[in-house]
């Protein structure tokens, strides 16, 4: 990437903007749906691809990693953690938790400056 | 970091080595464990730090790492975890491993991103 584009990295990753984008995508795909074994594959794929597409439209010089976990609601336990080795001034992450009556959804976005 | 004026990484990320690191760490930490909320809460954080430290020791230059660990109870429920990445496939890569025992499952992912 060119040197002159690096000035946008000084602001760092805008986690709030990413949070809103992801929340809208998840609401759009899963809103009003019940957990369904047949559709789940398609839903996770749509959520992740739509999130990526919207993030790219922001036009920032970042590489993105988007992960999505969708779990059926039952008396289960689920933990997730992440650990990152990067430049804290320019890179960032954002996590969105979403739930409805039958399922929970966790989406993580990691943005790494080029 | 300075510009290198190189087109790609001199040393590529060793996916196979990292796969075996993930397998060893998950097996050693979780082989005999039963699912319990407190244990697993601590375990996810510890395991992700341990994996990050071991992969850092490989000393692959100019690579940034993102390590994610998911641990869940095996209780007959259904779960699907997916991820997509927007990156340069020639230099960036992912490595992952799933560990299962009678009461829990654990998924560890390592994403390696080249700093161009």
- Strand, helix or coil for residue A39: coil
Residue B80 lies in a domain: yes
Residue B23 lies in a domain: yes
Tallying the residues shown for chain B, one arrives at: 116
Q: Which residue of A lies nearest to B50 if distances are taken between CA atoms? A: A83
pLDDT in tens, B9-58: 888 888 899 999 999 988 988 888 888 888 888 888 889 889 989 988 88
Residue B30 lies in a domain: yes
Residue B2 lies in a domain: no
- Strand, helix or coil for residue B110: strand
Per DSSP, B19 falls in state H
Residue B3 lies in a domain: no
**Mean per-residue pLDDT of chain A:** 83
pLDDT in tens, A72-89: 887 778 888 888 888 888
Of the candidates A15, A112, A60, the one whose C-alpha atom is nearest the C-alpha of residue B91 is A112
Residue A104's pLDDT band (cuts 50, 70, 90): confident
CATH number assigned to the domain comprising residue B50: 3.30.1140.40
How far apart CA A43 and CA A57 sit, in angstroms, is 21
Sequence-distant (6+) residues with CB within 8 A of B34 are B103, B104
What angle do helix axes B37-57 and B15-30 make, rounded to 10 degrees? 150
pLDDT in tens, B82-104: 888 888 888 888 999 999 888 88
B84 contacts A46 by C-beta, under 8 angstroms: no
Residue B110 lies in a domain: yes
Residue B1's pLDDT band (cuts 50, 70, 90): low
What is the count of structural domains for chain B?
1
Mutate to test the interface with B, among A77, A95, A114 (most CBs of B within 10 A): A77
Q: Which residues of B touch A (CB under 8 A)?
A: 3, 35, 37, 40-41, 43-45, 47-49, 51-52, 55-56, 64-73, 75-88, 92, 109, 111, 113, 115-116
- Can you tell me the ipTM of this complex? 0.76
How far apart CA B58 and CA B22 sit, in angstroms, is 13
Sequence-distant (6+) residues with CB within 8 A of A104 are A70, A71, A73, A78, A97, A98
Specify the residue for token string 């996916």.
B15
For residue B60, what are the domain limits? Answer: 15-114
Residue B75 lies in a domain: yes
Q: Torsion angle, CA of B21/B23/B26/B28, rounded to 10 degrees?
A: -90
- Strand, helix or coil for residue A28: helix
- pLDDT confidence of residue B97: 92
Residue A5's pLDDT band (cuts 50, 70, 90): very low
Residues of B in contact with A74 (CB under 8 A): 75-77
Other CB atoms within a 10 A radius of the CB of residue A11 amount to 10
Residue B105 lies in a domain: yes
């Amino acid at each position: 990437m060119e040197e002159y584009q690096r000035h946008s990295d000084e602001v760092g990753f805008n986690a709030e903007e990413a949070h809103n984008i992801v929340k809208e995508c998840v609401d759009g795909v899963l809103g009003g749906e019940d957990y369904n074994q047949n559709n789940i594959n398609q839903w996770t794929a749509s959520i992740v691809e739509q999130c990526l597409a919207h993030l790219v439209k922001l036009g920032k010089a970042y590489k993105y990693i988007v992960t999505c976990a969708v779990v059926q609601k039952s008396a289960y336990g689920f933990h997730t953690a992440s650990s990152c080795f990067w430049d804290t001034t320019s890179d960032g992450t954002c996590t969105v938790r979403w739930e409805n009556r039958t399922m929970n959804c966790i989406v993580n976005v990691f943005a790494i400056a080029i | 970091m300075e510009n290198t004026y190189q087109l790609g990484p001199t040393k590529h990320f060793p996916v196979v080595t990292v796969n075996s690191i993930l397998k060893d760490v998950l097996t050693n930490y979780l082989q005999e464990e039963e699912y319990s909320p407190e244990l697993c809460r601590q375990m996810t954080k510890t395991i992700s730090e341990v994996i990050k430290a071991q992969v850092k020791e490989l000393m692959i230059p100019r690579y940034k790492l993102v390590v994610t660990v998911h641990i869940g109870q095996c209780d007959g429920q259904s779960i699907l975890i997916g991820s997509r990445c927007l990156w340069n496939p020639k230099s960036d890569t992912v490595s992952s491993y799933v560990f299962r025992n009678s009461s829990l499952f654990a998924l560890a992912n390592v994403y390696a991103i080249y700093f161009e």
